[in-house]
Amino acid sequence: MPVPALLPDLLPAQASAADPNLELALRVLPALAVILLTAALCGRLATLVMQPRVVGEMVAGVLLGPTLLGAVFPDAQAALFPAQVRPVLYVLSTLGLTLYMFLVGAGMDHDARAPGELRKASVLAASGIISPLVLGGAAGLVLWERLSRPDVGRLEFALFLGGALSLTAFPMLARILYERGLQNTRVGRIALLSASIDDAVAWCLLAALSAVHLGGGTGDTLRTIALAGVFAAVMLGVVAPLLRPLGRRVARTGHLGAGAVYVVVLVPIVAGWITDAIGVYSVFGGFVAGLAMPRQPAFRAALHGRMMDLVSTLLLPVFFAFSGLNTHLGGITGGFALLAFALILLLAFSGKYFGCSLATRALGFGWRESWAMGAMMNARGLMILIFINIGLAQGMITQELFAMLVLVAVLTTAAALPLYKLALPERHEPADAEGAQKPAPVGAATGETGFI
């Protein structure tokens, strides 16, 4: 009997007959173990070739899907990820994404900045949004008939593709800057602020597209958008002030107590449930909940120290695996599919890289800093995977386009650090680089697993 065929027989017959919940647990736990082991191995291999760990974890998800495991050992993949296990993986990945986007929102630095930095960051953010949005949108208009679902309009498809290409992996950019002590330099502060603006605009665009796609009519769409706006206003105008005493208490003590942990976990979960009910997906609620958290540096450091290890080590690899189960790279075959992928990748890279680099140069930076900025802003990391998974789950894109954009995520993320080091090696980094005096951003306190 082939080895893969033995896997289903590992379940005790008594468990299957007497306790279906135990049977489900006995199927889910091996799947989780394989996911974590594969993510750890691929992540380690990525670091050995000077790549961010997240690149390896993204590749691990693809390898567990139909592209490799399903093609070489289909029985093993079917046994590891049967139909009853996938909903559990979906719930875990959704929880992980909601909490991760919560930590991203909570990690955004709203501290006062030097005069003119907000204007410069806004210019850079605009270049990082408009260039890929226009180029990706134009590609979407051209490719709509061949790559879109029949129930998705041409403009909706174009805006989704452009929005996906406009994302920046904010936590990855932050990690590069903090590792090199550049977060308090002029280039570091502007980069972090512009990336946060980029991602916030992209998530608002996705929320609007979700409302349009799922609304069923103009009235329902406007209602969904209005409710999302009310939700954000309540979170930032009502919930945020209520949480300020918690921030002051944590700032005094330096750690999150048990009661505080309950609060900071409950807020994003409830917020995600509300936005799911509204129709704009739970990650939007998690992100806004993070923005509503107290802004004290000590609170942010304590929050990330308590939560990020669990989220990045357990829940995010589940998300990568769930994405991999939906990624059919074998479908990108034939002349048209390959040309379409090459076009999307070219526009994704050039829109961000050259748009942000030239904008940075126009703001008065040197060419080395400008090309380094373009490299960092061009990384998409986990952010684009979240974006396109929502689009796939809500029926806005096809499996074929999803697979293309997964490859775009892997390749642009893998290119970011080498291009940054090529443009700005350590001997050319700004002379005013400081040691990290602020608390680490998302992932910085968690080692390589947070390099998203």
Residues 232 and 169 in one domain: yes
> Of the residues 80, 110, 145, which one is the last residue of a structural domain?
80
With respect to residue 86, please indicate whether it lies within any of the assigned structural domains: no
Residues 119 and 26 in one domain: no
With respect to residue 60, please indicate whether it lies within any of the assigned structural domains: yes
Query: What band does 14 get if pLDDT is binned at 50, 70 and 90?
Result: low
Percent of the chain with pLDDT over 70: 84
Residues 98 and 69 in one domain: no
With respect to residue 220, please indicate whether it lies within any of the assigned structural domains: yes
- pLDDT of 38-82, one tens digit each? 999 998 998 898 887 888 888 898 899 888 888 888 888 888 999
- pLDDT of 411-442, one tens digit each? 988 888 888 888 888 776 665 554 444 444 44
Average pLDDT over residues 152-178: 82
Count the domains in the chain: 2
Range of the domain at 15: 3-80
Average pLDDT over residues 260-283: 88
The contacts of residue 72 (CB under 8 Å, 6+ apart) are none
pTM: 0.75
> Of the residues 50, 80, 110, which one is the last residue of a structural domain?
80
Residues 153 and 53 in one domain: no
With respect to residue 34, please indicate whether it lies within any of the assigned structural domains: yes
- Give the per-residue pLDDT at 6: 44
Residues 69 and 170 in one domain: no
Query: What band does 229 get if pLDDT is binned at 50, 70 and 90?
Result: confident
Inform me whether the pLDDT recorded for 236 exceeds 50: yes
- Give the per-residue pLDDT at 217: 61
